[in-house]
């Protein structure tokens, strides 16, 4: 184990102070309620979190105090009451300890001794040794990221956590029943807890910033879940989406009548209800870059949680800066759009079960006028030669009403069968053994004609998707290799396989037939 230097030690302790919840999954967030600076053995005076963080980063010889005493509130995910704790920073002893006002949490201490991290506990110490110590070692090697957006930085975290727990208790079970009734294929837990968290965030934000909506509009509302939760909490609002979802009819009348099946065409969209003063874009895909534009045109605030990256034109987002991630690059693009629309754009990081959780908010507008905004929008659209440059407004088609299936299932069945049989025979001819063969994907593709490939060229995934869809015939053998899958008898047949519906491919086409007996095979012999 490499030695830990003192600046690295205090860097790790600084991260630990603010991120204890990263080590204890029972805790949602840590709130620092009081900071006191210790000048000597006895004297304590009030200080600030900023001074604490600055002192932890200073070189040892520059420090002017002995240490700090820190008061915490730990916000639990499930328990009703918050947990109090006290942390002690001792620069002279190179020591940090934390004491909890609850028997449910284990006190601990950490010290730097001869370049090594030492952890102590009055109890078993397994958590300290196998969780705390490895994490501190990792944090000690990290670099401070001053540009990272703080989670829930725009709202009172304690109010948010309390409201989120309340909303889960009130709504989660019923929403799960809606999902089961509608037989939705999407993951209910992800959607339910994510939208409950977003609803809690918006409610707290609106209360803190005194921007509670007269009414809101969720553009691209999908299943309408966020609209339903906010309606149930007393907020008037509507959801627009190009397609009605199965869940819509299950919501109470107050919500179902507020969900509108309508395409949002940016240049022709008009609000059906003039009292709307908040626009919401919750993973709104092609509409994401348009949210600030529509909010500017309609003179509303906006909340946007971007997901899939698109240009204003509706085309897939084209990278501007390859030195950062594609997601960060897209966020910078939407941020620029928002600023061009005259908004003082804020950012916040939500705590939701999604990797795309950075939100953009437009609460105030600057003096930048509508004419400047429209000039920017039209200039962006002309980059893709959309419409006549002389046209004042360009019609933009963002999404079709009917969702296109792109997994080879719409290709003519005879084309699929012909390709499958040809690839199967190519693999047999490779003569790996008496039963099967294997070939690289590139060799298979090179043997197919343009005419054969044209039938699936427009489908997502192409030949690779075709092979995956015929998993009972083909298998991916690692790397670029494709092989023939030898039928195996399942130990416990699945109930759905009890009724045979299709002819056995190997019985029909393999020179040796199917290796399974009729009673063992899940296909018709």
Residue 353 has pLDDT above 50, yes or no: yes
Angle at 214 between CA 213 and CA 217, to 5 degrees: 70
Q: How far apart are CA 340 and CA 373, in angstroms?
A: 6
CA 521 to chain CA centroid, nearest Å: 41
Question: Residue 300 domain-assigned?
Answer: yes
- Domain check: are 371 and 471 in the same one? no
Q: In this predicted structure, what is the pLDDT of residue 497? A: 44
Residue 1 has pLDDT above 70, yes or no: no
Which residue segment(s) compose the domain that 507 sits in? 487-525
- Domain check: are 66 and 182 in the same one? no
Residue 211 has pLDDT above 90, yes or no: yes
Residue 374 has pLDDT above 50, yes or no: yes
Question: Residue 151 domain-assigned?
Answer: no
Residues 349 and 198: beta-carbon distance below 8 Å:
no
Question: Residue 392 domain-assigned?
Answer: no
- Domain check: are 76 and 52 in the same one? yes
Q: What confidence tens digit (pLDDT) does each residue in 212-247 have?
A: 999 999 999 999 999 999 999 999 999 999 999 999
Q: How far apart are CA 56 and CA 9, in angstroms?
A: 9
Indicate the residue among 140, 166, 187 that finishes a domain.
140
Q: In this predicted structure, what is the pLDDT of residue 496? A: 44
Q: In this predicted structure, what is the pLDDT of residue 495? A: 45
Helix 225-232, helix 188-209: angle, nearest 10: 50
User: What is the distance between the terminal CA atoms of the chain, rounded to a whole angstrom?
Assistant: 62
Question: Residue 518 domain-assigned?
Answer: yes
- Domain check: are 522 and 434 in the same one? no
Question: Residue 302 domain-assigned?
Answer: yes
What is the pLDDT of the chain when averaged over all its residues? Answer: 87
3-state secondary structure of 448: coil
Question: Residue 35 domain-assigned?
Answer: yes
- Domain check: are 33 and 167 in the same one? no
Q: How sure is the predictor about 189, in pLDDT bands with cuts at 50, 70 and 90?
A: confident
- Domain check: are 522 and 461 in the same one? no
Q: What confidence tens digit (pLDDT) does each residue in 287-308 have?
A: 999 999 999 999 999 999 998 8
| Domain harbouring 342, CATH code | 3.40.50.150
- Domain check: are 369 and 232 in the same one? yes
| Percentage of residues of the chain with pLDDT beyond 90 | 53
pTM, full prediction: 0.74
Question: Residue 426 domain-assigned?
Answer: yes
Q: How sure is the predictor about 460, in pLDDT bands with cuts at 50, 70 and 90?
A: very low
| Least confident residue range of 90-104, 123-137, 257-271, 378-392 | 378-392
Q: In this predicted structure, what is the pLDDT of residue 41? A: 73
Question: Residue 27 domain-assigned?
Answer: yes
Specify the residue for token string 């906006």. 302
Tally of domains in the chain: 4
Based on the number of CB atoms within 10 Å of its own CB, is 192 exposed (0-12), middle (13-18) or buried (19 or more)? buried
More confident residue, 5 or 2: 5
Q: How sure is the predictor about 282, in pLDDT bands with cuts at 50, 70 and 90?
A: very high
Q: Among residues 483, 487, 485, which one has the least CA distance to residue 439?
A: 483
Q: In this predicted structure, what is the pLDDT of residue 387? A: 53
| Percentage of residues of the chain with pLDDT beyond 70 | 88
- Domain check: are 186 and 104 in the same one? no
Q: In this predicted structure, what is the pLDDT of residue 47? A: 95
Indicate the residue among 115, 140, 165 that finishes a domain.
140
Residue 185 has pLDDT above 80, yes or no: no
More confident residue, 451 or 69: 69
Q: How far apart are CA 303 and CA 313, in angstroms?
A: 21
- Domain check: are 365 and 511 in the same one? no
Alpha-carbon distances of 261 from 85, 198, 294, rounded to whole Å = 51, 23, 18
Indicate the residue among 382, 414, 441 that finishes a domain.
382
- Domain check: are 325 and 441 in the same one? no
Q: How sure is the predictor about 123, in pLDDT bands with cuts at 50, 70 and 90?
A: low
Listed ranges 42-56, 426-440, 472-486; the one with the highest mean pLDDT: 42-56
Residue 183 has pLDDT above 50, yes or no: yes
Q: Per the structure block, which two tokens stand in for 337?
A: 């759009």
Residue 194 has pLDDT above 60, yes or no: yes
Q: In this predicted structure, what is the pLDDT of residue 494? A: 47
Mean pLDDT of 188-200: 94
Mean pLDDT of 26-32: 95
More confident residue, 372 or 97: 97
Q: How far apart are CA 162 and CA 126, in angstroms?
A: 31
Residue 461 has pLDDT above 60, yes or no: no
More confident residue, 520 or 163: 163
- Domain check: are 521 and 481 in the same one? no
474: left (phi over 0), alpha (psi -120 to 50) or beta: beta
- Domain check: are 122 and 34 in the same one? yes
Residues 326 and 319: beta-carbon distance below 8 Å:
yes
């Amino acid at each position: 184990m490499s030695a830990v230097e003192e600046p690295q030690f205090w860097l790790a302790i600084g991260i630990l102070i603010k991120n204890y919840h990263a080590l204890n999954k029972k805790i949602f967030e840590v709130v620092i309620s009081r900071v006191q600076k210790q000048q000597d053995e006895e004297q304590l005076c009030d200080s600030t979190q900023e001074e604490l963080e600055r002192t932890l980063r200073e070189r040892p010889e520059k420090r002017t105090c002995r240490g700090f005493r820190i008061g915490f509130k730990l916000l639990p995910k499930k328990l009703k009451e918050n947990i109090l704790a006290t942390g002690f920073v001792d620069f002279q002893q190179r020591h940090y300890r934390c004491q909890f006002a609850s028997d449910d949490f284990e006190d601990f201490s950490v010290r730097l001794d001869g370049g090594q991290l030492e952890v102590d506990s009055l109890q078993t110490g397994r958590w300290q040794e196998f969780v705390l110590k490895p994490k501190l070692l990792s944090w000690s090697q990290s670099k401070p990221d001053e540009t990272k957006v703080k989670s829930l930085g725009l709202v009172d975290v304690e109010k948010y956590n309390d409201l989120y727990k309340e909303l889960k208790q009130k709504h989660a079970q019923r929403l799960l029943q809606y999902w089961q009734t509608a037989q939705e294929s999407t993951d209910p837990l992800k959607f339910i807890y994510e939208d409950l968290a977003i609803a809690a965030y918006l409610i707290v934000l609106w209360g803190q910033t005194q921007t509670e909506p007269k009414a809101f509009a969720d553009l691209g509302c999908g299943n309408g879940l966020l609209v339903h939760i906010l309606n149930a909490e007393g907020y008037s609002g509507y959801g627009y989406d190009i397609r009605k979802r199965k869940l819509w009819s299950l919501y109470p009348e107050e919500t179902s009548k507020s969900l509108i099946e309508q395409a949002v065409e940016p240049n022709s969209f008009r609000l059906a209800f003039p009292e709307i003063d908040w626009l919401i874009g919750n993973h709104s895909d092609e509409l994401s870059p348009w949210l600030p534009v529509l909010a500017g045109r309609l003179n509303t605030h906006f909340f946007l949680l971007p997901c899939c990256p698109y240009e204003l034109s509706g085309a897939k987002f084209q990278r501007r800066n390859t030195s950062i991630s594609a997601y960060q690059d897209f966020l910078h693009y939407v941020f620029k759009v928002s600023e061009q629309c005259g908004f003082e754009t804020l950012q916040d990081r939500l705590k939701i079960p999604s990797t795309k959780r950075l939100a953009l908010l437009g609460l105030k507008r600057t003096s930048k006028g509508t004419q400047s905004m429209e000039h920017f929008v039209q200039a962006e659209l002309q980059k893709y030669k959309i419409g006549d440059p002389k046209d004042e407004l360009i019609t933009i088609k963002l999404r079709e009403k009917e969702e296109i299936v792109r997994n080879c299932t719409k290709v003519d069945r005879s084309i699929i069968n012909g390709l499958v049989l040809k690839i199967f025979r190519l693999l047999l001819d490779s003569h790996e053994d008496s039963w099967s063969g294997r070939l690289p994907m590139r060799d298979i593709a090179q043997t197919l004609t343009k005419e054969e490939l044209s039938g699936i060229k427009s489908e997502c995934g192409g030949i690779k998707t075709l092979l995956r869809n015929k998993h009972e015939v083909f298998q991916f053998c690692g790397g670029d290799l494709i092989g023939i899958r030898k039928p195996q008898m399942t130990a416990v047949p699945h109930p759905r396989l009890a009724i045979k519906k299709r002819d056995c491919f190997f019985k029909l086409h393999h020179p040796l037939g199917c290796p399974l007996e009729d009673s063992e095979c899940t296909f018709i012999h």
